[in-house]
Amino acid sequence: MDGIVPLYKERGMTSSDCVFKVRRILHMKKVGHSGTLDPNVDGVLPICIGQATKVVDQLVQSGKIYTGEITLGLSTTTEDLDGEIVDAIQLKEPFSTEKIKATLASFLGDSIQIPPMFSAVKVNGRRLYDYARAGDPVERPQRSITITQFDLDGEPQFDAETGRQTFRFIVGCSKGTYIRTLAVDFGRKLGLPAVMSDLTRLKSGGIQIGNCITLEQLAQKAAAGELADVLLPIDHVFEAYQKVALDDEQWAKVLNGVFLTLPEQTDEIVALTYQGHIKALYQVENAARHFYRPYKMYLQNQGTH
């Protein structure tokens, strides 16, 4: 039994909790997720089972889409509402919708982000949140990120009594982007504290939230022997890649890790298929000669069965 469970992670659970529960439901050990969601965040969490665990890295590479909320006038130790308040001010008047839209738009494109201290990023073998809890100093690594969409979702709200302004957003981003940190950086651009006050992942690994199932629904399908109805095939991971069907001679070369000339191809990375299933990813070595080298091998990939 191999494939991808399009899981909807509910709030109050860690991503590891979800993996543990899927293992118990399916009575399988080879189970892994493709991108951590914090306990206070819900949404799409693709779970790979069986041979699909071999394509977790490729699934993680895909971009993600989130919807959430930013609160202006407040900041915390964790950059979300779970942490202790470290700064708070009262806004005398709200920022205009135009100003918020323009500031959101300023994040589009490539940039460098420093992950929050309360995160699972490892430095010298220790998670950043371990350094934070122990009060140990550490230099956080910089990350290159790409923001493809950052839109205002609805009208901003201003509470004159608390002096805080909130607004909802939709953001499309590359892997490894911390939305909490985007919220903080948004406030920094306006010269005031800010915090991420809500977040839901709408899309990950090409899976939309509307196509996801809960753990309870997964258990019901498993009990009824209907897992095939909900499992996505391993080849789902490669839907965005140009496909090249191999003949027997080419397949023999791929088995031995031989470089290939693919005259019709111009993409940076292509997916090679044999007998209807993805077997490898090849990356361009010499674009002018259409010469490709092995990038990732999935020789046992047979789709869902």
Residue with tokens 């550490």: 138
Q: Estimate to the nearest angstrom the gap between the alpha carbon of 159 and the chain centroid.
A: 33
Task: Tell me how far apart the alpha carbons of residues 104 and 101 are, in angstroms, rounded to a whole number.
Answer: 5
Sign of CA dihedral 123, 63, 65, 12: negative
- What would the two tokens of residue 229 be? 């109805």
Task: Tell me how far apart the alpha carbons of residues 142 and 160 are, in angstroms, rounded to a whole number.
Answer: 37
Residue of 38, 42, 80, 235 marked active site: 38
> Taking the CB of residue 19, how many other CB atoms lie within 10 A of it?
18
- What would the two tokens of residue 38 be? 């914090």
Going by C-alpha positions, the residue among 80, 67, 86 that lies closest to residue 40 is 80
38 catalytically annotated: yes
Most distant CA atoms of the chain, gap in Å: 74
CA gyration radius, the chain: 22
Q: Could you list the active site residues?
A: 38
